[in-house]
Amino acid sequence: MTRTVARLLAESLEAHDVDQIYCVPGESYIGLTSALIERNSMRLVVCRHEAGAGFMAAADGRLGTRAGVAMVSRGPGLSNALVSLHSAYHDATPMVMLVGQVERKDFGRLALQEQNYSRLLSDVTKQVIEVNEPEQASEAIARAFHLAESGTPGPVAVILPEDIFDDTTDAPVDRARPRVVAGPRADDLDRLADMLAKAERPLILVGGAMLADAMHDSAVFGDLNRFAEQWVLPICPTHRRPQLFDATHPNYGGYMGIRVPPALILEMKKADLLVSLGERLTDTVSQSYSFPTAPQPQLPLVHVWPDANEVGRVFRPDLGMACSPHEVLKALLKRGAPKDAAKRQGWVDTLHATHRKLLAKEWEPTKDGVNFAAVVCEIDKHLAPDATVTSDAGNFGSFIHRYIGFRQGQIFLASVVGAMGSGMPMAVAASLRRPGKQVVAFMGDGGALMMGNEIATAAQYGATPIVIISDNAMYGTIGMHSYVRYPERPFMAGTKLTNPDFAQWGRLFGAEGITIRTESEVADGIARAFAVKTKPVVVHCLTSAIQMSAWRKYTRAETLP
């Protein structure tokens, strides 16, 4: 069958279950846009910024079984999208970005908005696939999805010259490659079972690859619970993956996020075995490579991650397994727990008690604005068992992890590597994907005006996120770092912000606007926000700057304005 490249690309995307593409239009790929519109088989979500489109695609990549898809124009469009690629690359999030390019006859001339994508994207994508032959267009899509979704998942860019779309070809639609799942070797499983049986104080980290497995098989959650209970093990969800295990489950051993509170990390460091089930062991999770220590861990380490390039890249594990963490879990459950597993009950109980103490909903009122703890605790009361929470990057996020006891079934989305700007677009995507379900987006005043314009996309497509803005009139995180590192110097100068009335700002986009100025307004303001349901809501919280995070206060408060 002869068809245009544009049509072949559209059918190839359909063959990969693509039903939604996030884009900012560009003349460089107009041939594809018009073919997609004509075919009308998927929704084009037209965004306000390419990074917004990229973060929405990243959210899709985390909410389903396939890579999310974004489509951006050449040069400036792609340059805007870079932060989303950087984030997806670090976060191991599957994503396919379709990118326009100059006409083939002009390659290499530095024609209008031309860029050498292989050079530009070499450290933010798994691969850059340039399509210069019409016959390879469909194969390129199939390869892009396969690479984005397998091994360590990540973003793949497909580069499409402006003049290729109207070419015709007889090439068939390349079908989706089957998912390749590696299981554990029998010998490795024997060793792991033996190490787990002997350990008195094992610590089990669960991370992103386990969550990815859960997208394909929701039995992951129940299996994790049975593993924890039968094998008597403390389970520790890692940075920005809190939904893997119920925070109140008696086997919850603590959240292994950014800078684990001293009381908890002190206990964790008494472990005699560390098993990382689907956690990559990033800088953040490893507490800046101190637990475990890099490159030689201070305790026996078992690292399970579905990519041999990653296992052993930073840490030398005693046992490395390049396979699906859920497959390991299932195989261990089949073997059955060691007879004396109960010997670890005290260890599990101690960790859990320390974790529960840290989660206690306690805070002190602050004089210079609302303690954000009060807002987050109130939201926790309203969150449905299937709610989605998204978070931008900033210190307001520490309150989320301290005061929301996440449960299996809830969804948490954020840039794991901490890119600002992800909170709003991820909430828009989550709300589009899960209509009628609660979506709460947290952001600071900094992040709100960095990517907050995507609230226009929410309004345009009927998404209904509740947007909670913690307005402490500063880039608070950086003020804190400055205060901690250079305590003798003024710390506010480089971080102060003057903000609009965010409730009014939200109303101008068609959202409901609510303002919370004092702690006494928290309960009513949050209840009103959750009652809206039919349109986006912006809750402007005038928060304390003195309460710099959920764990820290400025003590030199006299230096605050």
Ligand X SMILES: Cc1ncc(C[n+]2csc(CCOP(=O)(O)OP(=O)(O)O)c2C)c(N)n1
Q: Does 418 bind ligand X (CB under 6 A)?
A: yes
- Smallest gap from Cβ 455 to ligand X, in A, equals 15
Which segment (36-44, 103-111, 239-247, 467-475) binds ligand X by CB under 6 A?
Answer: 467-475
Cβ distance to ligand X smaller for residue 115 or 395:
395
Cα–Cα dist 529/539, whole Å: 7
**151 forms part of the interface with ligand X (CB under 6 A):** no
Output the CA–CA distances (angstroms, integers) from residue 459 to 23, 427, 534, in the order listed.
16, 12, 10
The answer to whether residue 145 forms part of the interface with ligand X (CB under 6 A) is no
CA 324, 326, 331, 336 torsion-angle sign: positive
Q: What secondary structure letter does DSSP report for 510?
A: T
Q: Which residue has the tokens 């039968």?
A: 230
Under the criterion CB under 6 A, does residue 75 sit at the interface with ligand X?
no
Near ligand X in 82-141, by CB under 6 A: 83
Per CB under 6 A, 539 contacts ligand X: no
Return the residue nearest ligand X (CB atom).
444
Report DSSP state, residue 240: T
| Cα gap 366→334, rounded to integer Å | 52
Beta bridge partners, 128, equal: 157
Pairing, β 202-206 against β 319-321: unpaired
What residues pair up with 252 in beta bridges, in sequence order?
235
- Give the C-alpha separation, 346 to 348, whole Å: 5
Confirm or reject binding of residue 420 to ligand X (CB under 6 A).
yes
Options 184, 476, 513, 525; binder of ligand X; rule CB under 6 A: 476
Considering only residues 426 to 445 of the shown chain, the ones binding ligand X according to CB under 6 A are 444-445
Single residue of 396, 406, 412, 554 touching ligand X by CB under 6 A: 396
Q: Which residue do the tokens 């560390």 mark?
A: 274
Is residue 394 involved in binding ligand X (CB under 6 A)? yes
Q: Which of 100, 208, 234, 447 binds ligand X (CB under 6 A)?
A: 447
- Least separation in angstroms between CB 417 and ligand X: 8
| Sign, Cα dihedral of 321, 323, 326, 327 | negative
Min dist CB 320 to ligand X, Å, is 31
Stretch that binds ligand X, among 326-334, 475-483, 498-506, 527-535 (CB under 6 A): 475-483
The H-assigned helical ranges of 434-511 are: 445-451, 455-461, 476-485, 502-508
- What minimum distance in Å lies between the beta carbon of 392 and ligand X? 6
> Does the protein bind ligand X through residue 395 (CB under 6 A)?
yes
DSSP letter for each residue of 25-70: --GGGHHHHHHHHHH--SEEEE-SSHHHHHHHHHHHHHHSSS-EEE
Closest CA to 23 of 461, 376, 394: 461
**Which one, 51 or 311, has the nearer CB to ligand X?**
51
What's the closest the beta carbon of residue 253 comes to ligand X, in angstroms?
Answer: 27
* Contacts with 467 (C-beta within 8 Å, 6 or more apart), sequence order: 424, 427, 441, 443, 448, 452, 455, 506, 511, 536, 537, 538, 539
Pick from 86, 60, 93: which is nearest to 420 by CA?
86
In the complex, the smallest distance separating the C-beta of residue 87 from ligand X, rounded to whole angstroms, is 9
Q: How far is the CB of 83 from ligand X (least distance, A)?
A: 6
Q: Does 253 bind ligand X (CB under 6 A)?
A: no
User: Using CA atoms, how far apart are residues 537 and 397, in angstroms rounded to an integer?
Assistant: 19
**Residue whose CB is less far from ligand X, 396 or 483:** 396
- Among 472, 482, 544, 547, the residue binding ligand X under the rule CB under 6 A is 472
Strands 20-23 and 411-414: unpaired
Rounded to the nearest whole angstrom, what is the least distance from the CB of residue 480 to ligand X in the complex? 8
309-328 residues in contact with ligand X (CB under 6 A) are: none
Question: Given the complex with ligand X, which of 236 and 441 has the nearer CB atom?
Answer: 441
- Residue pair 50/80 in contact (Cβ under 8 Å)? The answer is yes
Q: How far apart are CA 373 and CA 517, in angstroms?
A: 14
Q: Is the bond leading into 76 cis (omega within 30 degrees of zero)?
A: no
Window contacting ligand X (CB under 6 A); options: 5-13, 312-320, 392-400, 501-509: 392-400
For the CB of residue 478, give the shortest distance to ligand X in the complex, in Å.
5
The residue from 477, 482, 544, 547 that contacts ligand X (CB under 6 A) is 477
Q: What is the C-alpha end-to-end distance of the chain, expressed in Å?
A: 70
Closest-CA residue to 554 (of 395, 379, 374): 395
CB of 465 to ligand X, least distance (A): 17
Does 446 bind ligand X (CB under 6 A)? Our answer is yes
The CB-of-422 to ligand X minimum distance in angstroms stands at: 9
419 binds ligand X (CB under 6 A): yes
Alpha-carbon gap, residue 209 to 29, rounded angstroms:
34
Of 474, 511, 514, 541, the one binding ligand X (CB under 6 A) is: 474
* Residue 369 in contact with ligand X, rule: CB under 6 A: no
Task: Measure Cα distances from 505 to 448, 499, 510, 554 in Å.
Answer: 11, 10, 9, 30
Stretch that binds ligand X, among 90-98, 234-242, 334-342, 393-401 (CB under 6 A): 393-401
Beta carbon nearer to ligand X, 438 or 477? 477
* Interaction between residue 478 and ligand X (CB under 6 A): yes
Q: Determine the size of the site formed for ligand X (CB under 6 A).
A: 20
Binding of ligand X by 505 (CB under 6 A):
no
Contact window for ligand X (CB under 6 A) among 180-188, 214-222, 313-321, 466-474: 466-474
Q: Which stretch binds ligand X (CB under 6 A): 119-127, 336-344, 468-476, 531-539?
A: 468-476
Residues within the interface to ligand X (CB under 6 A): 83, 393-396, 418-421, 444-447, 470, 472, 474-478
